[in-house]
A = this chain, B = another copy of it.
Amino acid sequence: MTAPISERLADVEQARESGRRKMDWAAQHMPICDALASEFEAEQPFEGERIGMAMHVEAKTAILAEILAAGGAEVAITGCNPLSTHDDVSAALDAVDGVTSYAERGVDDEAYYAAIEAVIDHEPTITVDDGMDLVAAIHEDYPELIDTIVGGAEETTTGVHRLRAMDEDGQLDYPVFAVNDTPMKRLFDNVHGTGESSLASIAMTTNLSWAGKTVVVAGYGHCGKGVAKKASGQNADVVVTEVEPRRALEAHMEGYDVLPMAEAAAEGDVFITTTGNRDVIVEEHFERMQDGVLLANAGHFDVEIDLDALSDLAVDSYEARDGVQAYEMADGRRLNVLAEGRLVNLATPIALGHPVEVMDQSFGIQAVVVRELVENGDAYEAGVHDVPDRLDKEVAEIKLDAEGVEFDGLTETQAEYMDSWQHGT
């Protein structure tokens, strides 16, 4: 039987202190979770609930677990990836009243799944997933628990994708909220979070400057818009590539150059892919690039830059800096790939993932979704559900309030006017 992390670490006191400090830093910059913590402490909405979580156990997620526990829940948590756990945070979290943490960094497959089972052993009434590990394990191995489960919440694109497939096959037996798909997450995560953290990671990994650089942004969806806007805000000359004509036109009307990648390849100093598609930068593009270019991916998977083709073209390849692999072409040009083509804001040696504030927004939605399940769980049938708009709005309001931003309400006359207008007379 897997024991909580606290029973496994050599110097648990020191780990707890270090983990607590990380959590404190995060909490200090998570105003939404902070406000919800106050509400939850006062109202104890989760009294009697058991919440099972499988998420990246680092400082920001730990705050989510902590505020759920503060609301009266018994929380059991483990990692959703054996490499993303911070043992010190796991230990600090395990020391929080009402929380048991099983997450440990670097465990093997067997131990990883044993920890998931340890969480399930708590017989959760609510699941919170980042990649649907809990939902999958429960449906496969513990179907008897489903009757007492109120519902779940899923953080990621991939998890939601897989859940929808289950749902379509009639295999999803309790309601799960698609936290990933909310406006609050898409507009802010993608535009500001991805944009800022990708650029900062690139700058600090390479010691290079943006001013006067030609930055080619592949894809002009939310992520691409964020990267383009932030790069332009550092005085880069932005080139956009797109496959959808209206997005291409949007980029053109914004004042950016729009080019096919085959032409952009010859002009760019830095290339950042954000398409969510594969094979965005391939052999014919590598062949036209200038010496010294940087290639980075800010899209979800590491398939946007065709590294196999690049390897084949290269006569030599070596680590040019930490987090930068240089591929030397036969003609002497060096193409520099960051973070092996994986998410550049997450996978360079110094990368820290999304900014704290962005995760605060995402976890704020997680928290109110869990509260919704407790309060109105009966209203939701088994299957994938969009987060109700009012909850998304509520989190926006909490954030505005926490930042001291006031805004207007509709008067009765105005509400009527809008109503009459939208619904006809």
Task: Give chain A's interface residues, CB within 8 Å of chain B.
Answer: 21-22, 24-25, 28-29, 161-162, 164-165, 168, 183-184, 187-188, 192-193, 196-197, 199-201, 203-204, 207-212, 229-230, 232-238, 241-246, 248-250, 252-261, 263, 276-279, 291-292, 303, 318-321, 324, 334, 350, 352-353, 355-358, 392-393, 396-397, 399-400, 403, 405-411, 413-414, 417-418, 421, 424-425
Contacts A21-B320, A196-B211 known; A407 to B243 CB distance under 8 Å? yes
Q: How distant is the Cα of A241 from the Cα of B407 in the complex, in angstroms?
A: 6
Q: How distant is the Cα of A399 from the Cα of B249 in the complex, in angstroms?
A: 8
B-chain residues with CB within 8 Å of residue A292 when the two chains form the complex: 28-29
B-chain residues with CB within 8 Å of residue A232 when the two chains form the complex: 233, 255
Contacts A209-B356, A356-B207 known; A252 to B405 CB distance under 8 Å? yes
Given A243-B407, A260-B406, 4 other A-B residues pairs in contact with their CB atoms under 8 A: A25-B324, A232-B255, A252-B403, A263-B406
B-chain residues with CB within 8 Å of residue A263 when the two chains form the complex: 406
- Rounded to whole Å, the gap between the CB of A93 and the closest CB of chain B is 18
B-chain residues with CB within 8 Å of residue A246 when the two chains form the complex: 183-184, 187, 392-393, 396
B233 contacts A209, C-beta separation under 8 Å: no
Q: How distant is the Cα of A183 from the Cα of B246 in the complex, in angstroms?
A: 8
A349 to B, closest residue via Cβ: B350
A236 to B, closest residue via Cβ: B255
Contacts A277-B417, A400-B248 known; A357 to B408 CB distance under 8 Å? no
Q: How distant is the Cα of A252 from the Cα of B353 in the complex, in angstroms?
A: 22
In the A-B complex, the 3 residue pairs with the smallest Cβ-Cβ separation, listed nearest first, are: A233-B233, A209-B355, A165-B424
